[in-house]
Chain A
Amino acid sequence: MKIHRYGEHALLADLDDPHEVPVVRAALAALDGVTDAVAGAQTVLVVFEPGHEAAVRAVLDRGDFAAAWTGDPPRSVTIPVRYDGPDLAAVADAVGLTPDEVVDLHCRGSYVVRFCGFAPGFAYLDGLDERLHVPRRSDPRTSVPAGAVGIAGQFTGVYPRPSPGGWQLLGRTDLPLWDPAAPEPALLAPGTSVRFEAQ
């Protein structure tokens, strides 16, 4: 692990194993004086109040994150999907499978939220079958509807709200992903396990 200073009150940890991102993030988020612990694809940014840097560095140096993770166990969510997305046929064509085989592979995966970004509640799900690793669209859409289920590179995800977007869209869910009035506004938070189910 490499630790970089990030301004006056934050550190950025480069992890050797990106699959450890959720557990490192959760361990840091549980520390006193930490205001934000934010996951990236291979990094965790930890923002702390003045005077707490030494304690944060000590946890990063010790490296025993599972022990430091005292929070609730991550929840698990099943997302029902209508696989009628506008890019399903093109993706199947690009990877040399039938659309049904693409849907089957997507549903068979067991996924974990590695990080959120792009928009509130947008989760990058780790665990996509390598046969489905396709680049994002060369021509991003100016408008993608809420609930659109897409894939891009090594990740799959669901658009929480209407927005522009470049992911290849396989289908759509009616499950609400983002509700700012709820005590837990995002359905998918870092560490959440996810499965997709064809409707």
Chain B
Amino acid sequence: MIEIVEPGPLASVQDLGRPGWAALGVPRSGAFDRGAARLANRLVGNDVGAGVLEVTLGGLAFRALDAVTIALTGAPCPGLDWGIAVTLRPGTLVRLGTPVRGLRSYLAARGGLAVAPELGSCSSDLLSGIGPSPLQRGETLAVGPAPTASPSGVAAAPRSGPAEFAIHPGPRVDWFEAGALDRLTAQPWQVRTQSDRVGVRLDGAALRRVRPGELPSEPTLPGAVQVPADGRPIVFGPDAPVTGGYPVIAVLTEVALDAAAQVRPGDLVRFRLSSRLR
């Protein structure tokens, strides 16, 4: 059992989300940086899809009420070693500082967080209100029984350097003026403060459309780069709605979507065409 002493700006329980329900209007949700969530689980010997904490901009303080083995991945925070399993004695208080770089940190506990699933997942979907609410001060979280696998190894150093998102051209490139994809990849874009788990909103020289109006609603996925009427792209995150009415100019690769989880307001990001395009 762990007790949340202070949740920080935003912390929630996430796993790999609830694929399979999109046809009913249910977003995938789950960890924004799926690679980091999987890694945290592997480090403590869990199944990669076990429930972990997603901590936004650090600030989380928690107490181990029993002995527990944990691992921190994603954005490195002062206060806890990054990328290695650490066993805490009962009563230990851990206080995560603000990450030096990156935005979202993932904290796995050996045994996984034991949260009642909703539609097969314990993820908090902040748009649809499915799954548990974000963590509150004083809340306790149970940890499941230890898995048979041992905690394993040490992770490679966290990603660093400016964010570059690999993309595939999207289904509605023809809604934009000729060369719009080049304009998307040629300029740096700045992350706006209104970014969250629904989408990373970007600012830069607007992408101009040649077709006015809205598309008939069409399905979208996390990683879709949607361009509303103002021409400023939004990279859809895990809690984005499953249908949208604005044209999608590009779709991020899975690795790029993990990177998109880690950009902060004010950061500059770039897009580049995926080298794996066939």
Contacts and interface: CB of A to CB of B under 8 A. Distances in A.
Interface of A: 4-10, 12, 14, 18, 25, 29, 35-45, 47, 115-122, 124, 161, 180-181, 185-186, 189-190
A117 B25 contact: yes
A42 B171 CA distance: 13
Nearest to A14: B171
Contacts, number: 116
A42 B243 contact: no
Interface in B138-158: none
Contacts of B128: 119-120
Contacts of B241: 117-119
A12 B218 contact: yes
A12 B219 contact: yes
B223 to A, nearest CB: 6
A186 B221 CA distance: 20
B70 to A, nearest CB: 30
Nearest to B244: A117
B128 to A, nearest CB: 5
B158 to A, nearest CB: 23
* Size bracket, chain B contacts: 20 to 34
A42 B216 contact: yes
Contacts of B224: 6-7
B227 interface: no
B19 A36 contact: yes
B104 to A, nearest CB: 21
B243 A40 contact: yes
A37 B170 contact: no
A29 B22 CA distance: 11
A137 to B, nearest CB: 16
Given A47-B19, A180-B118, A189-B23, A124 B217 contact: yes
Contacts of A9: 254
26 contacts: A4-B171, A5-B168, A5-B171, A6-B170, A6-B251, A7-B253, A10-B251, A12-B218, A36-B21, A38-B219, A38-B243, A40-B219, A43-B216, A43-B219, A45-B218, A47-B19, A47-B221, A116-B24, A116-B242, A117-B219, A117-B243, A119-B241, A161-B129, A186-B25, A189-B23, A189-B24
